[in-house]
Structure 1
């Protein structure tokens, strides 16, 4: 009987030690993950700052250049209006275009040039945020970081409205914001392809 009790005590001791060991391992893993996350944030901040310094020396696009770039049509959507220099009070070049189709699709495109003294400041924070991986979902929307055609973006699909919102940095210089109403994410990315964003960096 004594031997049996000793066996039980030893078994309990092993379980306690094992539990403590597992808890310690979990804490070590969490600490490593925390350090990794901090290192990633620091690295992203440094990279964003370096890119901002390069952009500071570049001359921003003019209103005429931005108007020349903005297309008249995107698939079956026709341009219904545009605004240039909307952020002009900050001395940041920008353009906003609205498009509409008879089938109910609507598209709003906004491009902000991150070049120049003020544009580069704006890009520092936005550029850092754009490098972070996120995902969030609830009954009304699904937000996640995606990569489409080499473009890393924050994609939000509003389930009830059926709208798609895209935000990304193009060519390490341009802040691009897309709002596609009554449009699934897959279709919104098709519209992005036809914007010919590559013409902005020629």
Structure 2
């Protein structure tokens, strides 16, 4: 009798273990593995970091304008300033189309302007333009060693102004049409006079 009771108890124990294993398997089927949960969480975070699709021109795939076309953008005379020098091809080795021009006031020898226009199209042009765009996105107003620099929004575009009073030097930088990078250096001119030159030369709208 004791032997029969012992065998019955062993059989019941085996049935309990078997049933418990089956139930555990079913529960495990409903539980996601840790690696899958981690991967899905990372995927959600990555998806949240994705920027919206921009409707901007892919400048890296665009063909830059020719130097001859870019030259026509630089007038021989702007107000009282006469163009004294025109240089193109100085960035050709880098695969960038750009021109430089120098202007001299016709009656005031201490007033002159140096200008560079760069096309941000093409692979290298797009890289340079991107760096300039990121720099101009910073809101800065800085005074250091007699130099004043300000980066701000001006007429729906970002611009940088630099003024060194002791050297009677001013500089402005901006990007037109999200593509063409302008840098103008003024000697003997104020910031307002430099912007006035840009307007007269049709580099920017009034």
TM-score of the aligned structures, taking structure 1 as reference length: 0.69
Per the alignment, residue 63 of structure 1 pairs with 67
Shift of 1:139: 4.3
Which protein shows a greater Rg?
Answer: 2
**Stretch deviating more after TM superposition (150-159 or 109-118):** 150-159
- Check if 1:175 corresponds to 2:173: no
**Stretch deviating more after TM superposition (78-87 or 120-129):** 120-129
Q: Supply the distance in 2 between the matched residues of 1:68 and 1:79 (Cα, whole angstroms).
A: 13
Q: How does 1:42-57 map to 2 (within 5 A)?
A: 54-57=58-61
Where structure 1 has 5 or more consecutive residues not aligned to the other structure, the ranges are: 1-42
Per the alignment, residue 19 of structure 1 pairs with none
Contact 1:82/1:98 (<8 A) preserved: yes
Per the alignment, residue 72 of structure 1 pairs with 76
From the superposition, tell whether residues 193 and 92 of structure 1 become closer, same or farther in structure 2 (CA, over 3 Å): same
Shift of 1:193: 0.9
Contact 2:198/2:204 (<8 A) preserved: no
Shift of 1:132: 1.0
Per the alignment, residue 115 of structure 2 pairs with 109
**Per-residue displacement from partner, 1:92-139 (whole Å, max 9, x unpaired)?**
000000000121210111011000122112122221111111111134
CA RMSD for the aligned pairs? 2.4
- Out of 87, 97, 103, which is 2:101 matched to? 97
Q: Supply the distance in 2 between the matched residues of 1:148 and 1:123 (Cα, whole angstroms).
A: 18
* Number of aligned residue pairs: 154
Q: Which has the higher helix share?
A: 1
Structure 1 runs (4+) deviating above 2 angstroms are 50-53, 146-151
**Per-residue displacement from partner, 1:11-47 (whole Å, max 9, x unpaired)?**
xxxxxxxxxxxxxxxxxxxxxxxxxxxxxxxx9xx69
Q: Supply the distance in 2 between the matched residues of 1:122 and 1:176 (Cα, whole angstroms).
A: 12
Where structure 2 has 5 or more consecutive residues not aligned to the other structure, the ranges are: 1-48
Shift of 1:65: 0.3
From the superposition, tell whether residues 180 and 198 of structure 1 become closer, same or farther in structure 2 (CA, over 3 Å): closer
Contact 1:70/1:97 (<8 A) preserved: yes
Greater RCO between the two (CA within 8 Å, min separation 6)?
A: 1
